[in-house]
A and B are shown apart, each in its own frame.
Chain A
């Protein structure tokens, strides 16, 4: 069974850094595109980043230069390194298997709160 489990969410001060993890089971993390999507409290969905099977990555303008997507094949885990965090980054962060044009399986999400 394919499963995605996010972790790493926390309360963090503005300007701080955090690394989110997405542990994958049922498939190899490098075999598929993988994406991060976030949802601010009471708001809609915002795509954040994707990493291709070949390793190329793309980012939303709102996080470009601050966030980095990566994966560790030995741990079968997807990551999102988030630096220079801002209040507007407060959201539930979801990882998802990306079929290039849709997000077919999602994790349960992890909450990031940026506040002093």
Chain B
């Protein structure tokens, strides 16, 4: 199975800050990488697919990059509604696997 490792596990940031979350795959997955946002008590929501494609309706302050084994999710200017947990997921092969999550908290 492909292991997905996110860092950091949590980050404290202020509104307006630039936040970067990284995701590393245990083997190359090309661009088969997805990012989700999950708020407490809610289902996850799709943010980024194919490593860098923004899902319809997602604000442009979110961006994704990377290929192979190393990927990044960037929030260019953190907004109050962005405080949540973010997960990466590889779609290269079964079983699909998720990172352990990164919680973005208010500083």
- Classify the interface of chain B: helix, strand, loop or mixed: loop
Q: Is the CB of A46 within 8 A of B98?
A: yes
On A, residues with C-beta under 8 Å from B are 37, 44-47, 50, 58-61, 94, 99-109
Judge whether B46 and A103 touch: CB under 8 Å: yes
- CB interface residues, B 48-107, toward A, < 8 Å: 49-50, 55, 87, 89, 91, 94-101
List residues of B whose CB falls within 8 A of some A CB.
1, 32, 34, 36, 38, 42-46, 49-50, 55, 87, 89, 91, 94-101
Chain B residue contacts of A99, Cβ below 8 A: 49
Q: A44-B100, A45-B89 are in contact. Are A101 and B95 (CB under 8 A)?
A: no
Indicate which residue in A44, A60, A94 contacts B87 across the interface (CB closer than 8 Å).
A44
Nearest-Cβ distance from residue B99 to partner chain A, whole angstroms: 7
Asked whether A45 and B44 contact (CB < 8 A) given A60-B95, A101-B49, A102-B49, the answer is yes
**Contact yes or no, A102 B43, CB < 8 A:** no
Asked if B99 contacts A108 (CB within 8 A), the reply is: no
Point out the residue from B32, B49, B55, B98 that lies within 8 Å of A44, measured CB to CB: B98
Asked whether A94 lies within 8 Å of B100 as measured between CB atoms, the reply is: no
Chosen A-B contacts, 6 in total, with CB atoms closer than 8 Å, are A47-B89, A47-B95, A58-B95, A101-B49, A104-B46, A104-B55
Within the assembled complex, what's the spacing in Å between the Cα atoms of A103 and B96?
Answer: 11
